[in-house]
Amino acid sequence: MASSTQDIGIDEESTTSESESGLDSTTAGALSYLFGFVSGLLFYLIEREDRFVRWHAAQSMAFTGVLVVAYIALSFLGTAVSMATVSGSSGLFLAGSLFGLILGLVWLVVSLGSFVAWIYLMIKAYQGKVARLPIAASIADRLA
């Protein structure tokens, strides 16, 4: 999951320098994850030269976007199943309730997993390393 900073064309010295925001690169990279899309966009727009910070900011925006899409899909699916099973027979209602319970557990796993990933990404960025998430990293490679 984590790889060296060499994957995005960054050497070790550039991650310890001061960025345009007045912070060192590792701190700015970690802070780009703090408020998700908002802080990612802020650091993406502020940092013009520091590829380390720009990449982490881009991954923060992509990660938040993927999570929003996942939450919308889960909400839509849960609503559709609830609407379909409310007016049905008792067997259909039971199946819908069971599906709703499973969907709630999936929502919980996604929520806890995204929280753990958020903490992990901030720690790795502060250490000057790059943690590549499957979908978000490919989007960040194109943006940074």
Q: Over the stretch 8-60, which tens digit does the pLDDT of each residue have?
A: 555 444 455 666 778 899 999 999 999 999 999 999 999 989 999 999 999 99
Q: How far apart are CA 50 and CA 138, in angstroms?
A: 18
Q: Is 54 exposed, middle or buried (0-12, 13-18, 19+ CB in 10 A)?
A: buried
pLDDT over 70 (residue 5): no
Q: Do 24 and 52 contact (CB within 8 A), yes or no?
A: no
Q: How far apart are CA 25 and CA 51, in angstroms?
A: 9
pLDDT over 50 (residue 100): yes
pLDDT at 10: 53
Least confident of 1-5, 109-113, 129-133, 138-142: 1-5
Instruction: Please give the biggest Cα pair distance in the chain.
Output: 66
Q: Please, what is the average pLDDT of the chain?
A: 86
pLDDT at 76: 93
pLDDT over 90 (residue 124): yes
pLDDT at 140: 93
